[in-house]
């Protein structure tokens, strides 16, 4: 029937008006249930899903409690436990940023050698599209999405180009904004650290075992170079040699002279034969 939709819409509006009227008679209306009072009529409202009556809120005095996964402009994490920036200036976030609104300046030491930290880090908030790619790709959990959305300024440049000081927040701030994600990350980091510690222990144990095996092999080698006979055997051998020497001495000691005389005679004989052959060759040639 013509006008049914219009009547339905007006019905919904009427229902909300009546619910609000009824709700406002309570000491704490539905929309303020569980809200956080900030004073000066300011409050953060945790709007319940089953709220009846008025759904609008009186911004900016009243603000809605943002869901954890709300994201606006990135923030850089200062690790309060380690007292250092988590960012290592690897540049991955700047590479993956679709509108290219991240600019990183890597720090260097007094010799000009590049270091694993930033000297500055800029994000153009007017260009950032809150896609969170930089967060997804950062390997060091160094960049996260902030919930702060009230960034209005009179001049876009340079007010909306945030530098490192403006972007950096302590780890506790991030933990308060993203409690679930923070807990998951902490659990993962602990697990990774535990694994790393175990790997290092295993590596150290293997190195110690290798060193022990090497020294054992060296000891075995030096033991191999040493005489393999026992002390008793060596003693017996020494006795045997002493007995041999005594027996030679008992033979009269002239045997050595006899051998030398025989050798001399053999040499003389060879010399004589060589002279004879030389004479024969001379005779043949008729000289
Ligand atoms: S924020 Fe992360 S990805 Fe970006 S430079 Fe720092 S460490 Fe690398
Ligand atoms: S949120 Fe997206 S657009 Fe914004 S800085 Fe990160 S990657 Fe770039």
**CATH code at 86?**
3.30.70.3270
DSSP 65: P
Residue 247 maps to a domain: no
Residues 85 and 57 both lie in one domain: no
Closest listed residue to residue 103, CA positions, set 128, 121, 126: 121
pLDDT at residue 225 in the model: 62
Residue 282 maps to a domain: no
- Ligand 2, atom 2, lies closest to the CA of 131
Say if CB 125 and CB 73 are below 8 A apart.
yes
pLDDT at residue 29 in the model: 82
Residues 121 and 165 both lie in one domain: yes
Say if CB 52 and CB 18 are below 8 A apart.
no
- Name the pTM for this structure: 0.68
Which residues, judged by CB distance below 6 Å to any ligand atom, belong to the binding site of ligand 1?
87-93, 104, 138, 140, 142-143
Residue 3 maps to a domain: no
Residues 43 and 84 both lie in one domain: no
Residues 101 and 144 both lie in one domain: yes
Taking the centre of ligand 2 as the mean of its atom positions, its distance from the CA of residue 207, in whole angstroms, is: 45
Q: Count structural domains, the chain.
A: 2
Taking the centre of ligand 1 as the mean of its atom positions, its distance from the CA of residue 122, in whole angstroms, is: 12
- Ligand 1, atom 7, lies closest to the CA of 87
pLDDT at residue 11 in the model: 94
Helix or strand holding residue 15 (H, E): helix 4-24
pLDDT at residue 23 in the model: 83
| CA angle in degrees (0–180, nearest 5) for 35-173-122 | 125
Among the bound ligands, name the one nearest to the CA of residue 99. Answer: 2
Taking the centre of ligand 2 as the mean of its atom positions, its distance from the CA of residue 281, in whole angstroms, is: 112
For residue 91, the enclosing domain spans 74-177
Q: Which residues of the chain have pLDDT under 50?
A: none
Residues 91 and 150 both lie in one domain: yes
């Amino acid at each position: 029937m013509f006008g049914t939709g219009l009547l339905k819409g007006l019905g919904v509006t009427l229902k909300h008006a009546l619910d609000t009227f009824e709700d406002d008679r309570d000491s704490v209306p539905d929309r303020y249930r569980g809200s956080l009072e900030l004073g000066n009529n300011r409050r953060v409202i945790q709007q319940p899903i089953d709220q009846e009556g008025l759904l609008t809120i009186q911004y900016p005095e009243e603000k809605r409690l943002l869901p954890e996964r709300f994201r606006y402009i990135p923030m850089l994490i200062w690790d309060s436990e380690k007292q250092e920036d988590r960012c290592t200036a690897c540049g991955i976030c700047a590479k993956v940023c679709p509108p290219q609104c991240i600019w990183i300046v890597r720090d260097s030491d007094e010799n000009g050698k590049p270091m694993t930290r930033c000297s500055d880090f800029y994000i153009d908030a007017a260009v950032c599209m809150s896609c969170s790619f930089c967060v997804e790709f950062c390997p060091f959990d160094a960049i996260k999405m902030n919930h702060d959305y009230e960034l209005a300024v009179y001049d876009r440049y340079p007010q909306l180009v945030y530098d490192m000081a403006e972007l950096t927040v302590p780890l506790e701030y991030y933990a308060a904004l993203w409690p679930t994600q923070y807990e998951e990350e902490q659990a993962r980091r602990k697990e990774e650290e535990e694994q790393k510690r175990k790997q290092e222990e295993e590596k150290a144990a293997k190195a110690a075992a290798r060193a022990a095996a090497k020294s054992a092999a060296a000891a075995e080698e030096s033991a191999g170079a040493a005489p393999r006979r026992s002390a008793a055997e060596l003693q017996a051998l020494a006795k045997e040699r002493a007995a041999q020497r005594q027996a030679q001495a008992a033979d009269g000691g002239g045997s050595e002279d006899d051998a030398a005389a025989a050798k001399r005679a053999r040499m003389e004989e060879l010399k004589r034969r060589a002279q004879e052959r030389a004479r024969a060759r001379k005779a043949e040639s008729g000289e």
